[in-house]
Structures are given as C-alpha cells and as structure tokens.
Amino acid sequence: MVKCPRCGYENASSSVYCDNCSYLLQNSQAKTTTRNVKNGAWAVGMAKKIILVLGIIVVAFLLFSFINNHFQPTSDESLNIVADDGTQHQSSTYPYKAVINYNGNWYAKMGDPNYMIEETGHGMVTYSLDCAAWDDVEIEAEKYDGEGELKIQLLRNGKVVAENSTTEELSSVSIAYDS
C-alpha cells in the first residue's frame, strides 16, 4: 500500500495516481511512466506553441488595424484636396476666414506665415484661408488710395478672434494670431 502525501488515502502499491485526489504518487513505477521534462519548461507540444504564437500575432494585427482605421481622418476632414491639374481646392473643414473691408482699393497677404496668399480688391471681401486649426495665421493689408477706415478681421469657425483697423492715409494693418 502507498499512502498519498497530499490527502493521506491508502492506495494500492501499483497505483500511479491517488484514487482519492488524483495526486501523482512518488514510486518507482510512476517515475518510469512520467515524461522527462526540464525544470521550468512548458509541458506543451511544439505545435501548440506555434499556434499560440500565431494567435498572438493575429490578435495584435487585428488590434493595430482597428486602431489605425478608427483614428484616420475621413475624406471630408482632409485638409488638402489636389486636383489632377495640380491646383489645390479648399475643403469645407478650414476653420479660418479673413474679412477685409475698405471703401477703396487695397492689397493683402494672408494665411499661414509659411504660405501667404496675396490678393487685391475693392470694398468688403471674405476669404477662406488654407490653414488648419493648429496653424498660426497672419493677415497684412494696406490701402492703395483714399481716406476712410481699413478694417481686417480674422474669423475662426464664424467667430471673430482678432481684428485691427486704421484710418490713416496709405497705411497698413496686420494681425498675427497664434492658435
């Protein structure tokens, strides 16, 4: 008879496992039937290890794909739409507009300080600026002729965020807005 070291049950001497708790009994017969496994090694076959590694890779790939697709801007949110002829068209997602108001002829430079557009005009004109919400924006305008007030405004999402004006003859005004 072999006594189980875990539960104390008396088992037959030919038993490999305890009949009561299924504990592996330490006898010469049990030692010969157990697999020879290194200490600390997994008792998992090579095929199971490969399947486990491939499963982890597939889950990581699916998670990366979901995150990458979830945080990409939609086509409506893209900032630059380039036509086949090389010209750029402004998207409706540009938040900035410049308003220039003067009862005479004027000249203005406006936009991102690294990419300013130049315009001339007469009277009140509103321009959509090719600037993203995080860009710094500048407007510089000057009178070509006459007297009166030259007024410039910078609008962000329809609200005035900066404005400047002058009534001096042949003078200029500017706005430098840091987002």
User: Strand, coil or helix: what is 109?
Assistant: strand
Give me the pLDDT at residue 174, please. Answer: 93
Query: For residue 76, is it within any domain?
Result: no
pLDDT at 125: 92
Report the number of distinct structural domains present in the chain.
Answer: 2
- Is the pTM value of this prediction over 0.75? no
Determine, yes or no, domain membership for 165: yes
88 assigned to some structural domain: no
Examine residue 66 and state whether it is found in any structural domain, yes or no: no
pLDDT band at 139 (very low <50, low <70, confident <90, very high): very high
Asked if the model's pLDDT at residue 38 lies above 60, the reply is no
Q: What is the mean pLDDT of residues 74-80?
A: 55
User: Cα–Cα distance between 44 and 106 in angstroms, integer?
Assistant: 81
**Alpha-carbon span 138 to 39, nearest angstrom:** 70
